[in-house]
Amino acid sequence: MTTITLNQLGKTFGDQVALHNIDLEFPSGSFVVLLGPSGCGKTTTLRMLAGLEEPSRGTIRFGDRIVANGDTGASVPAEKRGLGMVFQSYALWPHMSVRTNIEWPLRVAGWSAAERTSRLDEVLRMLDIVALADRYPAEISGGQQQRVAIARTIASRPQVLLFDEPLSNLDARLRVETRAELAQVHRATGGTSVYVTHDQVEALALATHIAVMRDGRVEQFGPPEELLDHPATAFVASFLGTPPNVLLAGEVQDGALVRNGVRLSEASDSGRMLHAMYRPQDVGLSSDGILDFDVVECTPLAGRYVVSGFTGGDRVSVVTDSFVAAGTATRLVLPHTPEAVFGADGARTHR
Amino acid sequence: MGLRRPVTWLALAVLALLVVLVALPLQALVSVTLRPDGIGSWADVLASPLSPNLLWQPLGNSLVVGLGTGLIASILGAFLAWVVVMSDMPGRRIIGMLATIPFALPSFAIALAWESIFRNERLGGNPGLLASFGIAVPDILSWGVVPVTLTLVAHYYSLSFVVVAAALANVGGDLLAAAQLTGASRLRVASRIVLPVVAPAILSGFLLAFAEGISNFAVPALLGLPVRFQTLSTRLYGSIATGDTERGYVLSIILVVIAALVLFTGNRLTKGRSFATISGKSSPPRRVDTGGWKWLLLALSATLVTATTIVPGIVLAVSTLLRRTNSFDAGLTLHYWLGGSDPSIAQGMRGVLRDPIVIDAIGSTISLGLSVGLGATIVGLLAAYVVGRMKRSRVIGGSISLLSYVPFLIPGIAFGAAFIAQFGAPIGPFPALYGTFTILVIAGIAASLPFAFQTSRSALGQISPDLEEAAVISGAGTARRLGRIVLPLASRGILGGGILVFVTMVRDLSLVVLLVTPATPLLSVMTYRYASEGFTQSANAITLMIAVVSVAATLIARRLQGATQPWSTK
């Protein structure tokens, strides 16, 4: 059982800061997703966990053991950290058969032939790829390659599993299937998993904990429900959810938050810029509303409709019960008070 | 840069080796001409009553030949590339295949074939086939600038074709379809889309052919020298061969500077302007419907490729079977291949396969090719590996890259001169290497380095870092990773590169012509000597052997490197 602790972990490439000193603790057995747009530092963090990059500052601990220390330069080599990694490209060795791909790391680790054979059978069966054992990576489909990569990773029973956007090369249907399988693999190994993606749907489906990252910083870390119910920043609020929350910017004038001359809610401190957050399902559409809204598209979702459009230059999505044709000009009906309010710096101000 | 890391020591060793192989000879070439007894040769060459003869006329000839070669080769190569990649001409595949062969032939093969056909009676000796049929061949077709240029074109259009065809194949059907859908005319699509995309390729093909045209030795030596048509290369060869060493070195330096300038600007101009790396799957281009013109295109391109591959091959083969040189009058014979010594034929020369000197030369040529192929591959691989591993240490990595690239800028004959300047005299405890097999191997390795280094770099670069990282995580150490992951994956590319080095060495004349002595006979040099002395059949027979080995080995190497012709996919 392995708790992973990042303490003041930072990484710079030349004079480029990839990761500002971050603090995170992943509980033992958790499935942590590092979520964020490209360039947010999530892959750098993962590669430092793997031992493929050295931190510039701070420490990484697996359990009680410090595996990397950017301040002293000490580092436990990747293979001594007891981890496995699934690469975006799968990184199957093209000149080795499926069997050899899975078996070779065990041979390197010094397993006996009998142990290797029985473990090989076990993971081949677990991932349902027994029939592929003697084929070469180029001879099997992308989805099958992915299963082989997973089998290879878990064969040595690592206590920490790392995933670098493992689903991004698969087509949509296969992605959903493989996702379920990854969750199963995680439960079966009982280890701690860290998973990098930019896809929030994937993150919400898999994670016990999500760290939303942006520009080398962690915006929020916690269980998915907490991030959805209680986003700590405007960025998290706008990044998570299908559709994501409605965020409307405005300025405080005379004790109220005002957007384009329309009063949204009460607020204090005149002159401040604020973002008001509403749940998409709480916002209605009607010509009696208070903000102009031009419908751009209307997508059916689980018996209801997600209607996207522009209000005063901002794109927002709301959920309605009936179909609204694209091109319709209507108005937004907002609840009396916003679900949350964020300051100009993006941080939550109250509630 | 940690001195404790083994890779640092390896890097320093590679660097030291490169200094000996590349930097020292070039430095020696210059410093010999700066010694008190050598400095006068600069004035002799640049400003004296001798200079028109020594420098200016040969330089002018070199430039004319280079420019002609570059222009004609680019036009023919680009035309052929367009026809093969973009048009609906029948027989594209076979034409495309044949068009790659001339570059695999030694350049003197086509020159000798030319001579066997077009040689006239001006110099006495045996005229060519045309003359023996009673057709008068004008001097301009027999000797000098026209045959030299055309022969070089026959060699280098092939290079231009390969470069441009690859670029055209990368244009991708989607890119063209997108342009055509805008309603642009075919001409407009060609001039605004296709041409800009392949322009860097055409330019780099032109500059390579230009630089080679300036500095080629074999062709002007065979088709120009007999009528005193001198180029810089033949001039500096003549100077050094007749003991006028310092002047020869000065001419070498001038040749190096000119060729290096051309190639270096070429690299600069085309750097970062290659649009050829369009990622993702792209659909093959829709072929241009050329209607009835396709038969004209076929006739033109078939003539071009057969005239530069099959025809010279047949001419060389047939000429070795003619009892009387380049004439059918006296009938056919196998004497020049298999015959014993007969005083009535060719001054008693034996057939090439029974001549102990030729047998000896076959042996030393093959062992030279193997030694250089092996040596250059090892040095190139080590250099590529340390450069890849030492990204943080710019000074060492940069120096290794630079020294591995420099020989690319240096014409073979001038490089040969530099090796005489450096290793011709004893250095400390080391004996003079001139006339030994060793100097040939060293010079060959040095000259082949740029190619071997690039091949290894790209072979290593094709291995995604993920594959090595996955092995790192499994706990495989450096040696195990190299042995089990990196080398197996790179081996085909590296082996293919080694074979191509072998080929260039086997057919090379310009690098070795100054370095060989009768003690170290090589096939290419024997060909040159026999051809100069009028033993046409023997020269052609040896050339044919070299050509067969070259083409076969080149095809094998391409196979190994997986260079499927990108332009011939369905």
> Cβ contact (<8 Å) for A87 and B489?
no
CB B83 within 8 A of CB B92: yes
Chain B residues in contact with A84 (beta carbon < 8 A)? 473
The Cα B403–Cα B419 span in angstroms is 16
The Cα B187–Cα B357 span in angstroms is 59
Tokens standing for A163?
A: 């995933």
Closest CA to B553 of B403, B410, B373: B373
Residue B568 pLDDT: 44
Contacts of B562 (CB under 8 A, 6+ apart): B492, B493
CB B98 within 8 A of CB B80: no
B475: nearest CB among A94, A95, A109: A109
CB A139 within 8 A of CB A101: no
> What domains are there in chain A, each with its CATH number?
4-235 (3.40.50.300), 236-350 (2.40.50.140)
In one-letter notation, the amino acid at residue A4 is I
Tokens standing for A186?
A: 């995680």
Closest CA to B9 of B411, A344, B141, B17: B17
User: Which of A85, A116, A152, A165 best tests the B interface by mutation, with the highest count of B CBs <10 A?
Assistant: A85
A95: nearest CB among B470, B473, B488: B488
At A250-296, the pLDDT tens digits run 888 888 888 888 888 887 777 788 889 999 999 989 888 888 999 99
CB A285 within 8 A of CB A333: yes
Closest CA to B539 of B363, B305, B361: B361
Residue B554 pLDDT: 86
Residue A94 CA, distance from chain mean position:
30
> By CB neighbour count within 10 A (0-12 exposed, 13-18 middle, 19+ buried), where does B142 fall?
buried
* Distance in angstroms between the alpha carbons of the first and the last residue of chain A: 36
At B15-73, the pLDDT tens digits run 999 999 999 999 999 988 898 888 888 888 888 888 898 899 999 999 999 999 999 99
- Helix/strand/coil for A48: helix
Strands A16-26 and A4-13: antiparallel
Residue B172 pLDDT: 63
> Cβ contact (<8 Å) for B467 and A93?
yes
* Distance in angstroms between the alpha carbons of the first and the last residue of chain B: 51
The Cα B99–Cα B84 span in angstroms is 10
> Cβ contact (<8 Å) for B474 and A95?
no
Poorest-pLDDT segment among A149-163, B420-434, B496-510: B420-434
Residues of chain B with CATH 1.10.3720.10: 61-213+254-276+296-332, 343-570
| Distance in Å, alpha carbon of A156 to nearest chain B alpha carbon | 9
Lateral strand order in the sheet of A348-350:
A262-266, A256-259, A246-253, A273-278, A340-343, A348-350
The Cα B104–Cα B205 span in angstroms is 16
Residue B392 pLDDT: 65
- When the candidates are 2.70.98.90, 1.10.4190.10, 1.10.3720.10, 1.20.1560.10, the CATH number that belongs to B61-213+254-276+296-332 is 1.10.3720.10
CB B520 within 8 A of CB B434: no
Other Cβ atoms closer than 10 A to A71: 12
Q: How many CB pairs under 8 A join A and B?
A: 58
| Distance in Å, alpha carbon of B99 to nearest chain A alpha carbon | 32
DSSP letters spanning A142-165: HHHHHHHHHHHHHHT--SEEEEES
Q: Which helix (H) or strand (E) holds A197?
A: strand A192-197
A178 touches B at CB < 8 Å = no
Residue in A with minimal Cα distance to B464: A91
Tokens standing for A98?
A: 């499926």
> Cβ contact (<8 Å) for B475 and A80?
yes
Strands A348-350 and B327-332: unpaired
DSSP letters spanning A7-48: EEEEEEETTEEEEEEEEEEEPTT-EEEEE-STTSSHHHHHHH
> Cβ contact (<8 Å) for A91 and B474?
no
| Distance in Å, alpha carbon of B417 to nearest chain A alpha carbon | 45
The Cα A228–Cα A232 span in angstroms is 10
At A57-96, the pLDDT tens digits run 999 999 999 999 989 988 888 888 888 889 888 888 888 8
At B304-335, the pLDDT tens digits run 999 988 899 898 888 888 888 777 777 778 88
Q: Which helix (H) or strand (E) holds A5?
A: strand A4-13
Residue B283 pLDDT: 55
B464-to-B176, B459, B489 alpha-carbon distances in Å: 31, 11, 10
Tokens standing for B1?
A: 């840069």
> Cβ contact (<8 Å) for B466 and A104?
no
Question: Nearest 5°: CA angle at B119, between B113 and B328?
Answer: 75
The Cα B142–Cα A289 span in angstroms is 94
Give residue ranges of B with CB < 8 Å to any A CB: 464, 466-467, 469-476, 480, 484-485, 488-489
Residue B279 pLDDT: 38
Closest CA to B444 of B515, B342, B525: B515
Strands A304-311 and A83-86: unpaired
ipTM of the complex: 0.73
At A108-157, the pLDDT tens digits run 888 999 999 999 999 999 888 999 999 998 889 888 998 999 999 999 88
Placement of tokens 């026209």 in the chain: B146
Tokens standing for B120?
A: 């006239």
| Distance in Å, alpha carbon of A91 to nearest chain B alpha carbon | 5
| % chain B with pLDDT above 70 | 91
B466: nearest CB among A87, A105, A109: A87
Tokens standing for A156?
A: 């040595």
The Cα B545–Cα B540 span in angstroms is 9
A107 touches B at CB < 8 Å = no
Placement of tokens 């001097």 in the chain: B139
> By CB neighbour count within 10 A (0-12 exposed, 13-18 middle, 19+ buried), where does B401 fall?
middle
> Cβ contact (<8 Å) for A51 and B473?
yes
B475: nearest CB among A79, A85, A88: A79
| Distance in Å, alpha carbon of A141 to nearest chain B alpha carbon | 17
- When the candidates are 2.30.30.100, 1.10.3720.10, 3.30.460.80, 2.40.30.110, the CATH number that belongs to B343-570 is 1.10.3720.10
Strand partners, A248: A276
Tokens standing for A331?
A: 């108005």
CB A4 within 8 A of CB A62: yes
Residue B570 pLDDT: 30
